[in-house]
Structure 1
Amino acid sequence: MGTWESWLAIAVALTLLLTLAFRVAATDLLALGCLAILVVAQAISGTTLLPTAEQAFAGYGNSGLVTVAFLFAVVTGLEFTGGTELATGWFLNRAKTLTGAQTRLFVPVAVMSGFLNNTPVVVALMPVVGDLAKRINTSTSRLLLPLSYAAILGGMCTLMGTSTNLLIADLNAEKIAAGATHRQLGFFDPAWVGVPATILGVIYMIIASRWLLPDRRGAISVSDDPRQYTVEVQVEPGGPLAGRTIEDAGLRHLPGLYIAEIQREDGTIAAAKPQEYLKDNDVLILVGALDSVVDLRKIRGLTTSDDQARKLKVPAWQRTLVEAVVSPRCGLLGKTIREGRFRSHYNAAVVAVARGDKRLTGKLGDVRLETGDVLLLEASPSFLHRQGESRDFFLVSKVKQAEIRRPEQAWYAIAIVLLMVLFAATTQKILCASLVAAIAMILFRCCTASEARRSIDWSILIVIGAAIGIGSAMGQSGAAAGIANVLLGVAGSDPILTLAAVYLATMLCTELITNNAAAMLMFPIAMGAAEGLGCAPEPMIIAVMIAASASFLTPFGYQTNMMVYGVGGYRVSDYVKFGLPLSIIVFVVSMTVIPLVWSF
């Protein structure tokens, strides 16, 4: 490790970690800048111990990175159809507290990740986390990182839970085929360590997340919006909410939104008590802030009252939400929305009305328009251009929305994701599975091609690609192998200390050069250490398998960690603070269980 190339690679990796931790600049700019240092150094010196420009940027063709890009499109299809909510809402919507939400989220994720590749599992559940966080009035930062960690822990329990385990099992099989006498690894062999580590890890995350994870919220929360929109929705006949109480339907604790009254089909008005049963065609009058009104549209079983939106001459997937302020010159002033035939006049459906901080009563159709009223409309994109120059409205602006646009396609989206996960689990061809799933989402109109393109978070992909290039430099320069050999040298001839050194060296390499690269690097080192001690290689192999997946200290060691990095608003310091105790837990479990199950 004494070459200048290895020291430069280490310095660049540490620089990237520190600059990301202190938010010196944008994450993608920092990652590309650090990678550029290595590329320029190689170009000037001509050394073979650093990657060339072609080798350094080869990470952008990495199958894992391309898979993540396709999975963005898959997630978009789930979001715009409400597929994830349909599949998980019955279970997660019952959560009332942070602890309840984490238990209902982390335990199933850990179990599923043992039998399905953990990356698609995390991708499929990420859209749910935002809604779940709003429902229990907490930040997504309390859920996303533990979600990634739960998937990693669950993936440790079987050979197919993660690609790292499969890679090591293949390397081991090659050794046996070449004449080694030790046995093949069984499907559940990693479970001896993985199951207790997962149980203890999930318990730790549920207990510690409220203290060790940040509660990062926007500068303005839902409750800070002074406008009180009145919105009217109808219970879909025969839908999932009919026959359920307000409490069971998940409508009691809507963030920033409450039910003011219930108007029955027979004209009677019912109080919005928690145990009040909802009936077919009930009209719910709700009052709340804009963001909450938009989120309300994600709930299945609620439709626009009187079906006004469906009567628009625009397909549902082309409509958008628009805010418009009524001007003194509006031709419908003094008339109710129904009398003025608002939908026919403007080809737009009124979703909600706000009049300052006043609460409006009664149905939306009976509201008489006044100057300054803010209308939330469902309309075609052309409405923005037509009415932007109209005298009827002061201001017309598009509302950022994440509502369900194509609920009728939800089962298609769910089926596509299930087939993707099944294909990935049985063939381990995750890239192929994600590619076909992304195309299927577009073909089945779960999302459009433009929506899929816009869903890609390029900054995440840039950081992943640059991290792969820096990891390549760590391996090519000999820095990673040098660090591993130093740790093994400290262990001497004691098998327990050597086992600990193999584990720690693999874990360190995982954080620096990603899990699969660490497994490839450390497997021959671990086998060599076992041969040098004259002991069985199984304990060392299991140590490498567990440690290569135990990436809890940086965003770069594991794909799912990187995927939640930007969405959750995390910093590198959050990974260290929350992940270090978890790393210690998995290390202690490994050092306790491995010598008991596999003799040296």
Structure 2
Amino acid sequence: MNFEIIFVLVGLIGMLVALIMDKMRPGIVLLSLVVVFMAAGIITPKQMVAGFSNRGMITVALLFLVSEGVRQSGALATVIKKLLPERKMSVTQAQLRLLPVVSAFSAFLNNTPVVVIFAPIVKNWAKKVGLSCTKFLIPLSYATILGGLCTLIGTSTNLVVHGMMIDRGLPGLKMFDLAFIGIPITIVGLLFILLTSKKLLPAERPDNFEEEEADAAEESGKHIVEVVLASRFPGLKRKLKSFDFKRRYGAEIKEIRQGGQVITENLGEVRLQEGDTLVLLADEAFTKTWGDSSVFLMMTNGKEIPSRPMPVWKKWTALALLLIMIIGATIGELPYFQERFPNVKMDMFFFAAVTAVVMAWLKIFPPKKYTKYISWDILITIACAFAISAAMEESGLASLIAEFIKSVSGSLGAWGALALLYFVTLVITELITNNAAAALAFPLALETASQFGVDPMPFFIAICIAASAGFATPIGYQTNLIVQGAGNYKFTDFVKIGLPMDIIVMILSITLIPLIWPFGN
């Protein structure tokens, strides 16, 4: 191995360690590594910034705005309320009504706002009809993940792989290319949830204080509120005693749910993390002021959180624009339209840009606050991922690892390499973040296909699935973190149902992908 290979390898190991330790946001970790690679001459300044102009990355940013427009329209909340029955029914019957619809929505919207909208509604409904919310919140998160596997825009990971393909001069993915594998996986995954969640998921764990304090709180004009901390919460990584939460937000923290643990004593010593659920004693002013704030991912207080008033016509307009975007991006790349409009590339980037701007013009989301609806850390992570991918290729590390994968695969050939690449990508996404996993795996997929002399498409599809299908840990996907605190789940609750899900999805993927996209050798 030459110096460049060793340097890049050590840098990647350091990046993985930093991401696992969670001392800094993923975006700044990857940006730090990219700057080091540029300073060492591994990549050029042009390669360093190339990802910031990539159509896939910018499409992700635009889709954040589209998803926010649909969320603020209230259309999704209206639909889900009509789906949930007024009377008590079995857990399986209720899941059967809820989960397929959730998957369908998440195929076209960012998964996080879908869970943010549905989780409080489902939790309140479950309490109202006497069912355990723990039987629904993890399945809700899993259903959004499964739905995201079905389309190009279902998750940012798919757009990352799509953008990297275009960068290499490849055609990229079409809107429903992933549906051929995503829909079978979603059907099997939902069936698994319906058949096993009742036994594998825990019964609802009672709150330590709610029964004792709720009535007293109501008498004093206050009530119990649960909030999930977002990446923009200013007190992240700080001990609670050094961050005066009550002075800033006018609410008293009674309990912190962090990493599957419920903390009620020595709260001042707790270092706050993204995804923590805080159980607060607050008045009505708190929910009115902070109900739609970007510092909290989700807020619930056992009843409806007031939202921005939205005329009925805006609800239907938001859904109509979403539908036009999906249909337009699907048919816009057909040869007929490409011949008629040779100077306009009517792809997902085109229609997402038009939709986001029209939503801003119509004030479906507040145009003056549009920057707060974009997750800049995710965008920086994605942009830097392109540079890291370039460093792996330029240094020769990707080629070296691809040779190793080929030797390990042995007699299993390209199929064995596909299975190994899928497994490695899955492990990385369970431990750190899905976009970083896709970035690391993409150059390996390209080089491995080259080593075997086969079509790289099966490897690209495997990356899309493996980098998104993180079920076994709450840190594998942001929606898992959101429902962990809301449902008072332990880490092991995800392992019990998520690990079998990981195995099922992996077996399905490595079996079906070569049949749908043959290696061609």
Structure 1 residues without counterparts, runs of 5 or longer: 176-184, 231-286, 293-321, 324-373, 382-399, 532-536
Match of 2:344 in 1: none
Alpha-carbon distance in structure 1 between the residues aligned to 2:396 and 2:202? 35
Q: How does 1:303-452 map to 2 (within 5 A)?
A: 401-408=305-312, 409-427=314-332, 429-452=347-370
Distance in 1, Cα, partners of 2:55 & 2:167 = 20
User: Which residue number corresponds to residue 418 of structure 2?
Assistant: 502
TM-score of the pair, normalised by structure 1: 0.53
Report deviation, 1:497: 4.5
**How far apart, CA to CA, are the structure 1 residues paired with 2:396 and 2:493?**
26
1:84 equivalent in alignment to 2:2: no
Shift of 1:486: 0.9
| 1:544 CA drift (Å) | 4.5
Match of 1:522 among 436, 439, 445: 445
Q: Deviations over 1:177-236 (max 9, x none)?
A: xxxxxxxx9999977755543333223345359857999999986995446769xxxxxx
Cα distance, 1:450–1:174 mapped onto 2, change above 3 Å: closer
Contact 1:507 1:548 (C-alpha < 8 Å) held by counterparts: no
Structure 1 residue 127, shift from structure 2 partner: 2.3
Counting only pairs closer than 5 Å after superposition, residues 21-420 of structure 1 correspond to structure 2 as: 25=23, 27-28=24-25, 31-33=27-29, 35-40=31-36, 42-43=38-39, 46-48=40-42, 51-52=43-44, 55-92=47-84, 99-100=92-93, 102-110=95-103, 118-120=108-110, 126-137=116-127, 138=133, 142-143=138-139, 145-155=141-151, 194-206=182-194, 207=196, 211=200, 224-226=213-215, 289=223, 401-408=305-312, 409-420=314-325
What secondary structure sits across from 2:503 in the alignment?
helix
The question of whether the paired residues in 2 share the 8 Å contact of 1:16 and 1:31 is answered with: no
The letter for the 1-side match of 2:126 is I
- In 2, the alpha carbon distance for the partners of 1:41 and 1:214 equals 49
Q: Does 1:564 align with 2:479?
A: yes
Q: State the alpha-carbon separation in 1 of the partners of residues 151 and 122 from structure 2.
A: 24
Q: Deviations over 1:383-436 (max 9, x none)?
A: xxxxxxxxxxxxxxxxx9542412433222222222233333334733333333
One of 458, 465, 475 as aligned partner of 1:549: 465
Contact 1:80–1:404 (8 Å) recurs in 2: yes
Q: Please say if residues 96 and 136 of structure 1, whose CA atoms lie closer than 8 Å, have aligned partners that are also in contact.
A: no
- Which residue of the partner structure matches residue 407 of structure 2? 489
Counterparts of 1:454 and 1:171 in 2: how far apart (Å)?
Answer: 29
- CA shift, 1:489, in A, is 1.0
Residue aligned with 1:403, SS: coil
Task: Give the CA RMSD over aligned residues.
Answer: 5.3
Structure 2 residue identity aligned to 1:76: E
Residue equivalent to 1:306: none
Deviation at 1:146, TM superposition (A): 0.9
Are the counterparts in 1 of residues 75 and 315 from structure 2 also a CA contact under 8 Å? yes
CA separation in 2, counterparts of 1:423 and 1:69?
19
AA matched with 1:420 = M
Percent identity reads 21
Per-residue deviation at 1:449? 1.9
Aligned match of 1:295: none
- Structure label with greater radius of gyration: 1
Counterparts of 1:31 and 1:427 in 2: how far apart (Å)? 33
What is the aligned counterpart of 2:503 among 574, 584, 588?
584
Q: Cα–Cα, structure 1 residues 567 and 426, in superposed 2: closer, same or farther, change >3 Å?
A: farther
> Structure 1 pair 566/60, CA: closer, same or farther in 2 (3 Å)?
farther
What is the CA-CA distance between 1:586 and the residue it aligns to? Answer: 2.8
* Structure 2: gaps of 5 or more residues: 128-132, 227-248, 251-281, 290-303, 334-346, 430-435
- Per the alignment, in what secondary structure is the counterpart of residue 434 of structure 1? helix
TM-aligned CA distance change 1:83 to 1:581, over 3 Å: same
> Matched residues in 2 for 1:464 and 1:215: separation?
37
Q: Is the 8 A contact 2:217 2:223 kept in 1?
A: yes
**2:214/2:223 contact within 8 Å kept:** yes
Count of matched residue pairs: 408
CA separation in 2, counterparts of 1:222 and 1:462? 44
The 1:375–1:402 alpha-carbon spacing in structure 2 relative to 1, beyond 3 Å, is closer
Q: Are the structure 2 counterparts of residues 473 and 170 from structure 1 closer, same or farther at C-alpha, using a change threshold of 3 Å?
A: closer
Task: Determine the structure 2 residue equivalent to 1:7.
Answer: 9
Distance 1:485 1:575 in 2: 38
Give the 3 Å change call, closer, same or farther, for CA 508–75 of structure 1 in structure 2.
same
Q: Call closer, same or farther: CA 1:105–1:478 in 2, change over 3 Å.
A: farther
For residues 448-463 of structure 1, what are the structure 2 equivalents within 5 Å?
Answer: 448-463=366-381
User: Are the aligned partners of 1:12 and 1:34 in contact in 2 as well (CA < 8 Å)?
Assistant: no
Q: C-alpha distance in 1, partners of 2:326/2:420? A: 32
Aligned match of 2:266:
none
SS for the counterpart of 2:150 is helix
Taking structure 1 as reference, are residues 583 and 455 closer, same or farther at Cα in structure 2, changes over 3 Å only?
same
Deviation sequence 1:440-483 (CA, Å, 0-9, x none): 22322323223433333444444444555545544444434433
Change (3 A) 1:19 1:471: farther
Amino acid corresponding to residue 19 of structure 1 in structure 2: M
1:499 Cα shift? Answer: 0.8
CA–CA separation in structure 1 for the residues paired with 2:425 and 2:393 = 9
Does the residue aligned with 1:446 lie in a helix, a strand or coil?
coil
Q: Secondary structure at the match of 1:550?
A: helix
Contact preservation (8 Å) 2:64, 2:110:
no
Q: Residues 506 and 119 from structure 1, CA distance in 2 versus in 1: closer, same or farther, beyond 3 angstroms?
A: farther
Residues 74 and 417 of structure 1 are in contact (CA less than 8 Å); yes or no, is this contact kept in structure 2?
yes
Amino acid at match of 2:416: A
Distance 2:94 2:184 in 1: 22
Of Structure 1 and Structure 2, the greater helix share is in 2
CA distance in 1, matches of 2:29, 2:174: 44
State the match for 1:19 in structure 2.
21
Cα distance in 2 for residues equivalent to 1:594 and 1:131: 37
Per-residue CA distance 1:525-544 (angstroms, 9 max, x = gap): 32541x4xxxxx57x74455
**CA separation of 1:403 and 1:194: change in aligned 2, threshold 3 A:** closer
Which residue identity does 1:131 align to in structure 2? I
Deviation at 1:171, TM superposition (A): 11
CA separation in 1, counterparts of 2:120 and 2:100? 18
1:273-329 Cα deviation digits (max 9, x unpaired): xxxxxxxxxxxxxx994769xxxxxxxxxxxxxxxxxxxxxxxxxxxxx99xxxxxx
Q: Hey, what's the Cα distance between the residues in 2 that align with 1:478 and 1:575? A: 41
Relative to structure 1, the CA distance from residue 10 to residue 190 in structure 2 (aligned partners, 3 Å threshold; closer, same or farther) is: same
The amino acid across from 1:107 in the alignment is: P
SS at match of 2:364: coil
Asked whether the 8 Å contact 2:38–2:48 carries over to 1, the reply is no
Contact 1:201 1:586 (C-alpha < 8 Å) held by counterparts: yes
